Amino acid sequence: MDFSKGLNIQLATLFGIGKLPGGGTWSSLIILLIALAERSAETASFIAFFSLTIAPRAYKKLVKELNAEDPKEFVLDEIIGMGMSLGLVNIFIYFFISNTDEFSTMEIFNRNNLFIITFIVFRFFDISKVGPVGWIENNKNETPYMRVIGDDIAAALLSALIVIIFLSINLWVL
């Protein structure tokens, strides 16, 4: 790790992961692995919240360094989005279904499987930019930072919503 450019740039690239091909996927995968390891999304949600607080300054420093409005090396937006989507799914499980017999007997619905499904759906929305995700990223009325962060927040909300709907239908309707 080269800290000669400053801590903000290291944080913006998640200590160089953003410089790898597919850096956004790798950074999202790190958050997923943290949630899988603890079988909860509490730490992942905390990391997302922390990233949300440091992201504006880190983004500004990286943009200045690379002279780009939406540098692909900036991966804190994926950290925020992935942590948020996992946190929302985790909250739904905790409050609405974790104590039901159906949840404990259906192997596909254990937390880790749901977190993996959430990761796949989040990456689909973040990469494909369908619907609101693309609208937010292409909204020229917003600042570049809000477009960069906003599309990942939209992808997080959509992925969590889809997983929650899928889970609800399978547990309570079918």
Q: Can you say whether the dihedral through the CA atoms of 130, 174, 171, 35 is positive or negative?
A: negative
Q: Please, which pLDDT band fits residue 83 given cuts at 50, 70 and 90?
A: very high
Token representation of residue 20: 């790898």
Task: Assess whether pLDDT exceeds 60 at residue 120.
Answer: yes
pLDDT band for 65, please (50, 70, 90 cuts).
very high
Strand spans (E) along 11-55: none
Rounded (10°) angle between helices 111-128 and 76-92: 140
Q: At what angle do helices 111-128 and 144-168 cross, to 10 degrees?
A: 140
> What is the CA 46 to chain-centroid distance, rounded?
12
Residue extents of the structural domains in the chain: 3-173
Q: What is the pLDDT of residues 7-18, one digit of tens each?
A: 989 999 999 999
Q: Judge contact between 20 and 75, C-beta under 8 A.
A: no
Cα three-residue angle 59-120-8, rounded to 5 degrees: 15
Distance CA(111)–CA(24), nearest Å, equals 23
